[in-house]
């Protein structure tokens, strides 16, 4: 089984001690967010084909990755680097520091480990299309030769996303919009061209309607990439966690409403105050990443 750690929260940035404790113990426990059933996830080498780490700040986790590798676990790091204003990403590390982290990942673990995510693309008066073109272009130039793929997606406006964006816009004095598909298609085409110029493949995460020439369907949990890292075959059925997701089958060990980064467009956090409370109550020695009560 491929283990995802985690698209629900940023384990490398905030919960690295917990993850390493559970890896050494050989298991963790999870609560299903829908039916609240508890399950035990086997993390022993015989049970885990590899890990996919998702983060906006790999810095606190870089040294821990040496132990993960020493234990024989191949891994990929899906690294979101957006370079957005603080009004949109309250506590995310500076993009230049994240780019340095990507370079270290490439040097220490190989070219197939780091994957750049310019994700999620959100349209505001602070981040109009012209901002995204400029912002993406300088990062792509910095990351040329460091990564071979950049994953993008456009913000999906759920009820909680709309509420959080509205609150942030009122507090910081900006406006936001969900533009028509034509605007997104035009930007996707421009970003694909910029990425291609730097030798980076642009892929779309679970949004095939925005595939443009030069772009491909993203497979964020990718058994093929993990096999390249491992130097041995790794197979898994293609089974994403939502419609149009092309990922291979994985088990996610994160928990919603636990990431304190403060990204106002995030689908995984109802509000930052709740995430901060849960983060402060987190027990790195516990079996669960976060346990109610």
Q: For 96-119, what is the HEC assignment? A: HHHHHHHHHHHHHHCCCCEEEEEE
pLDDT at 221: 98
Domain assignment present for residue 289? The answer is: no
Q: Could you tell me the two tokens for 52?
A: 């996919």
Domain assignment present for residue 292? The answer is: no
Under 8 Å between Cβ of 4 and 54: yes
pLDDT of residue 292 exceeding 80: no
Among 56-70, 125-139, 183-197, 232-246, the minimum mean pLDDT is found in 232-246
pLDDT at 61: 98
Classify strands 27-31 and 38-42 as parallel, antiparallel or unpaired. antiparallel
Burial zone of 180 (CB within 10 Å; 0-12 exposed, 13-18 middle, 19+ buried): exposed
Q: pLDDT class for 180, splitting at 50, 70, 90? A: very high
pLDDT at 34: 78
Mean pLDDT within 169-178: 98
Domain assignment present for residue 293? The answer is: no
Domain assignment present for residue 287? The answer is: no
CA-based nearest residue to 256, from 34, 39, 8, 37: 8
pLDDT at 147: 98
The residue segments making up the domain with residue 94 are 2-281
pLDDT of residue 160 exceeding 70: yes
Domain assignment present for residue 286? The answer is: no
Domain assignment present for residue 33? The answer is: yes
pTM more than 0.85 = yes
Counting residues of the chain whose pLDDT is more than 70, the rounded percentage is: 100
Domain assignment present for residue 174? The answer is: yes
220-278 pLDDT per residue, tens: 999 999 999 999 999 999 998 888 999 999 999 999 999 999 999 999 999 899 999 99
Domain assignment present for residue 94? The answer is: yes
83-119 pLDDT per residue, tens: 999 999 999 999 999 999 999 999 999 999 999 999 9
Number of structural domains found in the chain? 1
pLDDT at 293: 55
């Amino acid at each position: 089984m491929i283990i995802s750690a985690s698209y629900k929260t940023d384990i490398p940035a905030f919960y690295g001690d917990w993850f390493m404790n559970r890896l050494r113990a050989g298991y963790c426990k999870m609560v299903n967010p829908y039916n609240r059933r508890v399950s035990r996830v086997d993390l022993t080498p015989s049970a885990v084909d590899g890990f996919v780490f998702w983060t906006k700040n790999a810095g606190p986790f870089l040294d821990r990755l040496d132990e993960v590798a020493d234990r024989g676990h191949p891994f990929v790091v899906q690294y979101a680097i957006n370079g957005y204003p603080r009004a949109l990403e309250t506590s995310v590390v500076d993009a230049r520091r994240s780019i340095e982290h990507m370079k270290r990942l490439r040097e220490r673990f190989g070219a197939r480990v780091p994957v750049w995510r310019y994700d999620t693309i959100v349209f505001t008066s602070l981040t109009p299309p012209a901002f995204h073109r400029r912002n993406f272009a300088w990062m792509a130039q910095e990351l040329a030769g460091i990564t071979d793929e950049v994953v993008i997606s456009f913000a999906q406006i759920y009820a909680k996303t709309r509420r959080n964006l509205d609150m942030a816009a009122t507090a910081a004095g900006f406006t936001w919009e969900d533009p028509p598909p034509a605007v997104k298609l035009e930007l996707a085409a421009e970003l694909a061209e910029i990425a291609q110029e730097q030798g980076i493949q642009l892929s779309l995460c679970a949004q095939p309607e925005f595939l443009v020439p030069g772009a491909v369907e993203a497979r964020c949990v990718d058994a093929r990439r993990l096999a390249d890292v491992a130097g041995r075959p790794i197979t898994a059925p293609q089974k994403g966690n939502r419609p149009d997701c092309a990922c291979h089958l994985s088990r996610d060990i994160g928990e919603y409403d636990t990431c304190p980064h403060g990204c106002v467009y995030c689908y995984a956090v109802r509000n930052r105050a709740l995430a901060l409370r849960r983060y402060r109550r987190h027990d790195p020695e516990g079996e669960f990443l976060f346990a109610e009560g």
